Protein backbone atom coordinates (compact mmCIF):
# COMPACT_ATOMS: atom_id res chain seq x y z
CA UNK A 1 0.00 0.00 0.00
CA UNK A 2 2.87 2.39 0.81
CA UNK A 3 4.35 1.73 -2.63
CA UNK A 4 1.01 2.60 -4.26
CA UNK A 5 0.79 5.85 -2.28
CA UNK A 6 4.32 6.78 -3.32
CA UNK A 7 3.48 5.94 -6.95
CA UNK A 8 0.51 8.32 -6.86
CA UNK A 9 2.50 11.01 -5.08
CA UNK A 10 5.20 10.85 -7.76
CA UNK A 11 2.56 11.09 -10.48
CA UNK A 12 1.00 14.13 -8.83
CA UNK A 13 4.30 15.91 -8.25
CA UNK A 14 5.29 15.35 -11.88
CA UNK A 15 2.60 17.81 -13.00
CA UNK A 16 3.90 20.50 -10.56
CA UNK A 17 0.30 21.60 -10.10
CA UNK A 18 0.09 23.32 -13.48
CA UNK A 19 -1.91 22.80 -16.67
CA UNK A 20 -1.22 24.29 -20.08
CA UNK A 21 -2.29 27.92 -20.42
CA UNK A 22 -3.99 27.05 -23.72
CA UNK A 23 -6.12 24.41 -21.98
CA UNK A 24 -7.10 26.72 -19.12
CA UNK A 25 -7.92 29.53 -21.54
CA UNK A 26 -10.05 27.17 -23.64
CA UNK A 27 -12.07 26.23 -20.54
CA UNK A 28 -12.54 29.88 -19.61
CA UNK A 29 -13.61 30.71 -23.16
CA UNK A 30 -16.13 27.87 -23.10
CA UNK A 31 -17.60 29.13 -19.82
CA UNK A 32 -18.06 32.57 -21.34
CA UNK A 33 -19.90 31.02 -24.29
CA UNK A 34 -22.08 28.88 -22.00
CA UNK A 35 -22.96 31.97 -19.93
CA UNK A 36 -24.14 29.80 -17.03
CA UNK A 37 -26.55 31.41 -14.59
CA UNK A 38 -27.03 30.84 -10.86
CA UNK A 39 -23.54 29.50 -10.22
CA UNK A 40 -23.18 29.59 -6.44
CA UNK A 41 -20.62 26.84 -5.85
CA UNK A 42 -17.68 25.64 -7.96
CA UNK A 43 -15.36 22.67 -7.48
CA UNK A 44 -12.09 22.30 -9.40
CA UNK A 45 -10.85 18.70 -9.23
CA UNK A 46 -7.10 18.59 -9.74
CA UNK A 47 -6.88 22.29 -8.95
CA UNK A 48 -3.10 22.33 -8.50
CA UNK A 49 -1.85 25.80 -7.64
CA UNK A 50 -5.31 27.23 -8.29
CA UNK A 51 -4.70 29.14 -11.52
CA UNK A 52 -8.12 28.26 -12.94
CA UNK A 53 -9.99 28.97 -9.70
CA UNK A 54 -8.35 32.38 -9.39
CA UNK A 55 -9.52 33.21 -12.92
CA UNK A 56 -13.03 31.95 -12.13
CA UNK A 57 -13.22 34.50 -9.34
CA UNK A 58 -13.57 37.24 -11.94
CA UNK A 59 -16.36 35.40 -13.81
CA UNK A 60 -18.29 34.28 -10.72
CA UNK A 61 -17.29 36.78 -8.01
CA UNK A 62 -19.96 35.62 -5.55
CA UNK A 63 -19.52 31.86 -5.96
CA UNK A 64 -18.03 29.64 -3.28
CA UNK A 65 -14.79 28.24 -4.71
CA UNK A 66 -13.33 24.87 -3.73
CA UNK A 67 -10.40 22.85 -5.01
CA UNK A 68 -9.29 19.23 -4.69
CA UNK A 69 -5.84 17.84 -5.38
CA UNK A 70 -3.71 14.86 -4.40
CA UNK A 71 -0.84 17.18 -3.49
CA UNK A 72 -1.18 19.60 -0.59
CA UNK A 73 -1.94 23.09 -1.91
CA UNK A 74 -3.64 24.25 1.30
CA UNK A 75 -2.09 27.71 0.90
CA UNK A 76 -4.95 28.35 -1.54
CA UNK A 77 -6.95 29.23 1.56
CA UNK A 78 -5.11 32.54 1.51
CA UNK A 79 -6.95 33.32 -1.74
CA UNK A 80 -10.38 32.54 -0.29
CA UNK A 81 -10.49 29.05 -1.80
CA UNK A 82 -11.53 25.99 0.19
CA UNK A 83 -8.90 23.31 -0.40
CA UNK A 84 -9.31 19.56 0.14
CA UNK A 85 -6.43 17.12 -0.21
CA UNK A 86 -7.79 13.89 -1.68
CA UNK A 87 -6.81 10.87 -3.78
CA UNK A 88 -9.28 10.94 -6.68
CA UNK A 89 -8.91 7.18 -7.11
CA UNK A 90 -10.97 6.87 -3.93
CA UNK A 91 -14.57 7.82 -3.08
CA UNK A 92 -14.99 11.53 -2.47
CA UNK A 93 -15.97 12.68 1.04
CA UNK A 94 -19.74 12.99 1.45
CA UNK A 95 -19.19 16.56 2.67
CA UNK A 96 -18.32 17.56 -0.90
CA UNK A 97 -21.73 18.02 -2.49
CA UNK A 98 -24.20 20.41 -4.12
CA UNK A 99 -21.89 22.03 -6.69
CA UNK A 100 -23.37 23.98 -9.58
CA UNK A 101 -20.18 23.74 -11.64
CA UNK A 102 -17.47 21.08 -11.47
CA UNK A 103 -14.32 21.30 -13.56
CA UNK A 104 -11.75 18.54 -13.92
CA UNK A 105 -8.94 19.57 -16.23
CA UNK A 106 -6.37 16.93 -17.20
CA UNK A 107 -7.15 14.56 -14.32
CA UNK A 108 -8.98 11.47 -15.58
CA UNK A 109 -5.93 10.25 -17.54
CA UNK A 110 -4.04 10.04 -14.21
CA UNK A 111 -6.56 7.71 -12.59
CA UNK A 112 -6.96 3.94 -12.47
CA UNK A 113 -10.72 3.82 -13.03
CA UNK A 114 -12.33 6.57 -15.11
CA UNK A 115 -15.85 5.20 -14.68
CA UNK A 116 -15.59 5.27 -10.90
CA UNK A 117 -14.26 8.83 -11.08
CA UNK A 118 -17.16 10.02 -13.25
CA UNK A 119 -19.75 8.40 -10.98
CA UNK A 120 -18.18 10.07 -7.95
CA UNK A 121 -18.18 13.48 -9.66
CA UNK A 122 -21.86 13.23 -10.58
CA UNK A 123 -22.75 12.50 -6.95
CA UNK A 124 -21.39 15.95 -6.11
CA UNK A 125 -23.12 17.81 -8.96
CA UNK A 126 -26.42 19.60 -8.43
CA UNK A 127 -29.41 18.44 -10.49
CA UNK A 128 -29.07 21.49 -12.77
CA UNK A 129 -25.28 21.50 -12.75
CA UNK A 130 -22.55 21.52 -15.37
CA UNK A 131 -19.44 19.35 -15.56
CA UNK A 132 -16.45 20.29 -17.71
CA UNK A 133 -13.70 17.75 -18.34
CA UNK A 134 -10.53 17.98 -20.40
CA UNK A 135 -8.07 15.25 -21.30
CA UNK A 136 -5.40 14.45 -23.94
CA UNK A 137 -6.71 13.58 -27.39
CA UNK A 138 -5.36 10.20 -28.60
CA UNK A 139 -6.94 10.74 -32.04
CA UNK A 140 -4.79 13.65 -33.18
CA UNK A 141 -2.37 13.24 -36.07
CA UNK A 142 0.55 13.61 -33.67
CA UNK A 143 -0.81 10.95 -31.31
CA UNK A 144 -1.68 8.50 -34.10
CA UNK A 145 1.80 8.84 -35.65
CA UNK A 146 3.35 8.36 -32.21
CA UNK A 147 1.39 5.13 -31.75
CA UNK A 148 2.35 3.82 -35.20
CA UNK A 149 6.04 4.68 -34.88
CA UNK A 150 6.71 4.23 -31.17
CA UNK A 151 3.88 2.05 -29.87
CA UNK A 152 2.26 4.59 -27.55
CA UNK A 153 0.03 7.63 -27.88
CA UNK A 154 1.36 11.14 -27.49
CA UNK A 155 1.31 12.19 -23.81
CA UNK A 156 1.36 8.52 -22.75
CA UNK A 157 4.99 7.62 -23.34
CA UNK A 158 7.86 6.79 -20.96
CA UNK A 159 8.36 10.45 -20.04
CA UNK A 160 4.69 10.78 -19.05
CA UNK A 161 4.58 7.68 -16.84
CA UNK A 162 3.51 7.29 -14.04
CA UNK A 163 1.48 10.49 -14.39
CA UNK A 164 -0.60 9.54 -17.46
CA UNK A 165 -1.88 5.96 -17.38
CA UNK A 166 -5.24 5.88 -19.25
CA UNK A 167 -6.20 7.56 -22.53
CA UNK A 168 -9.79 8.17 -23.66
CA UNK A 169 -11.14 8.93 -27.10
CA UNK A 170 -14.05 11.36 -27.24
CA UNK A 171 -16.36 8.46 -28.06
CA UNK A 172 -15.19 6.48 -25.03
CA UNK A 173 -15.46 9.37 -22.58
CA UNK A 174 -18.88 10.35 -23.93
CA UNK A 175 -20.13 6.80 -23.44
CA UNK A 176 -18.82 6.70 -19.87
CA UNK A 177 -20.79 9.85 -19.10
CA UNK A 178 -23.99 8.68 -20.79
CA UNK A 179 -23.82 5.27 -19.08
CA UNK A 180 -24.56 7.01 -15.77
CA UNK A 181 -28.06 7.96 -17.02
CA UNK A 182 -27.58 11.33 -15.32
CA UNK A 183 -26.52 13.41 -18.33
CA UNK A 184 -29.14 15.17 -20.44
CA UNK A 185 -26.94 17.36 -22.59
CA UNK A 186 -23.46 16.53 -23.90
CA UNK A 187 -21.18 18.60 -26.11
CA UNK A 188 -17.47 18.89 -26.81
CA UNK A 189 -14.78 21.22 -28.07
CA UNK A 190 -11.38 20.41 -29.51
CA UNK A 191 -8.70 22.76 -28.19
CA UNK A 192 -6.62 24.51 -30.82
CA UNK A 193 -3.32 23.40 -29.30
CA UNK A 194 -2.24 20.61 -31.65
CA UNK A 195 1.51 20.45 -32.20
CA UNK A 196 3.06 19.67 -35.57
CA UNK A 197 4.99 16.37 -35.22
CA UNK A 198 8.69 16.84 -34.33
CA UNK A 199 8.06 20.54 -33.81
CA UNK A 200 7.00 22.92 -31.04
CA UNK A 201 4.88 24.86 -33.51
CA UNK A 202 1.10 24.61 -33.45
CA UNK A 203 -0.95 23.62 -36.50
CA UNK A 204 -3.27 26.53 -35.83
CA UNK A 205 -0.46 29.08 -35.85
CA UNK A 206 0.61 28.16 -39.38
CA UNK A 207 -2.73 26.98 -40.76
CA UNK A 208 -5.67 28.63 -38.93
CA UNK A 209 -8.14 26.43 -40.79
CA UNK A 210 -6.54 23.28 -39.34
CA UNK A 211 -8.58 22.44 -36.26
CA UNK A 212 -10.75 19.70 -34.86
CA UNK A 213 -10.02 16.10 -33.89
CA UNK A 214 -6.85 15.57 -35.96
CA UNK A 215 -5.21 18.89 -35.05
CA UNK A 216 -5.91 19.09 -31.32
CA UNK A 217 -3.76 17.66 -28.53
CA UNK A 218 -6.56 17.95 -25.97
CA UNK A 219 -10.34 18.20 -25.92
CA UNK A 220 -13.09 19.39 -23.61
CA UNK A 221 -16.37 17.65 -22.80
CA UNK A 222 -19.29 19.63 -21.37
CA UNK A 223 -21.88 17.48 -19.59
CA UNK A 224 -25.09 18.88 -18.10
CA UNK A 225 -27.81 17.08 -16.20
CA UNK A 226 -30.51 19.32 -17.62
CA UNK A 227 -31.72 19.79 -21.18
CA UNK A 228 -31.39 23.34 -22.56
CA UNK A 229 -34.43 24.69 -24.39
CA UNK A 230 -32.48 24.86 -27.67
CA UNK A 231 -31.15 21.30 -27.37
CA UNK A 232 -32.38 18.26 -29.21
CA UNK A 233 -31.40 14.63 -28.77
CA UNK A 234 -27.97 14.11 -27.19
CA UNK A 235 -25.40 12.98 -29.74
CA UNK A 236 -22.53 10.68 -28.81
CA UNK A 237 -19.52 11.46 -31.06
CA UNK A 238 -17.88 8.68 -33.02
- Which pLDDT score is estimated for 68? 96
Q: What region does 46 belong to: left with phi over 0, alpha with psi -120 to 50, or beta? A: left
Helix count and strand count (H, E) for the chain: 7, 7
- Which pLDDT score is estimated for 198? 81
52: closest CA among 9, 20, 87?
20
Instruction: Provide the CB-side half-sphere exposure for 44 (13 A, CA).
Output: 30
pLDDT tens readout for residues 90-106:
999 999 999 999 999 99
pLDDT at position 113 over 90: yes
Backbone angles phi, psi at 221, to 5 degrees: -115, 130
What single DSSP character describes residue 195?
B
Degrees (nearest 5) of the Cα angle 67, 73, 74? Answer: 85
- Which pLDDT score is estimated for 232? 45
Average pLDDT, integer, range 10-36: 81
Q: Are 40 and 61 in contact (CB under 8 A)?
A: no
Count of Cβ atoms closer than 10 Å to residue 207 Cβ: 11
**pTM to 2 decimal places:** 0.88
- Which pLDDT score is estimated for 91? 97
pLDDT band at 18 (very low <50, low <70, confident <90, very high): low
pLDDT at position 231 over 50: no
pLDDT band at 55 (very low <50, low <70, confident <90, very high): very high
Q: Are 129 and 102 in contact (CB under 8 A)?
A: yes
Cα 106 from Cα 75, distance rounded (Å) = 22
Domains and CATH numbers, the chain: 2-224 (3.40.50.150)
- Which pLDDT score is estimated for 19? 60
Helix (H, G, I), strand (E, B) or coil at 16: coil
Amino acid sequence: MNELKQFRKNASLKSIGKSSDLILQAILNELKILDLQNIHSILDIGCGTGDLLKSLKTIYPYAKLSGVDYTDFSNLGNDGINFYQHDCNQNFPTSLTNYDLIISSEVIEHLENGRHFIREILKMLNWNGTLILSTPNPESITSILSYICRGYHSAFGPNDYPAHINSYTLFELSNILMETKKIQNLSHKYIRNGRIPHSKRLWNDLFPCFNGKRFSDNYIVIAQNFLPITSSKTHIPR
